[in-house]
Structure 1
Amino acid sequence: MDKRLLDILCCPVSKTPVRPLARGELDAVNAAIERGEVDTVAGSPVRDRLGEGLITIDRKVIYRVDDGIPVMLPEEGIGTVQFKDFPAVA
């Protein structure tokens, strides 16, 4: 993702900056999606794996990136509190 775009993107609700999901985070999210354990903030089940995503720097909300385009809609966010063992980033 373009660094300039990443520098200006933030959560539309909290205005917290975002960063790309690390590989371990992405793998954990996709594993939970495959198990049917992931819902959006609006309560809709997430059925499709993420190819890439952005996460707020406070690690509370994930936004998917579709074909290189960040989907920064509040209702499409994925809250991380629903994950049992969300990996820590080194």
Structure 2
Amino acid sequence: MSVNAKLLDILCCPHTKIPVEVMDKELLVELNEKIIAGEVTYVDGSEVTEQLTEALITKNREIIYQVDDDIPVMIYEKGILVE
């Protein structure tokens, strides 16, 4: 993953304050399959339409945050709730 390790050490969910970690490739593949099937929405209710190439997940495994061009998108409304 391209997210800087020092940055990763201090990042946390803006809503729950739970630290995040790199989402493993297996989970990312499963998530992308659900995105293709139209089964994934952001916290704000809008549909996720593009597959993710990188992502972070809270350590309690409840919220996923996408990474765009090596920059984590840590906006709660654009988080993806894990079901």
Where on the TM-score scale, by shorter chain, does this alignment land: which range?
A: over 0.9
Residue 29 of structure 2 is matched in structure 1 by: 27
Gaps of 5+ in 2: none
Q: Please list, as runs of the form range in 1=range in 2, the aligned pairs for 1:34-45 lying within 5 A after superposition.
A: 34-45=36-47
Distance 1:22 1:74 in 2: 20
The one-letter amino acid of 1:42's match is D
The one-letter amino acid of 2:21's match is R
1:46 is the counterpart of 2:48: yes
User: For 2:41, what is the secondary structure of its paired residue?
Assistant: coil
- Using the size of structure 1 for normalisation, the TM-score is 0.89
1:71 deviation in Å? 0.3
- How many residues of Structure 1 are paired with residues of Structure 2 in the alignment? 81
1:2 deviation in Å? 1.1
Residue 14 of structure 2 is matched in structure 1 by: 12
User: For 1:50, what is the secondary structure of its paired residue?
Assistant: coil
Q: Please list, as runs of the form range in 1=range in 2, the aligned pairs for 1:72-83 lying within 5 A after superposition.
A: 72-81=74-83
Paired-residue identity, % = 48
Gaps of 5+ in 1: 82-90
Deviant stretches of 4+, over 4 Å: none
The one-letter amino acid of 2:57's match is I
Residue 3 of structure 1 is matched in structure 2 by: 5
RMSD value over aligned CA atoms? Answer: 0.4
Residue 59 of structure 1 is matched in structure 2 by: 61
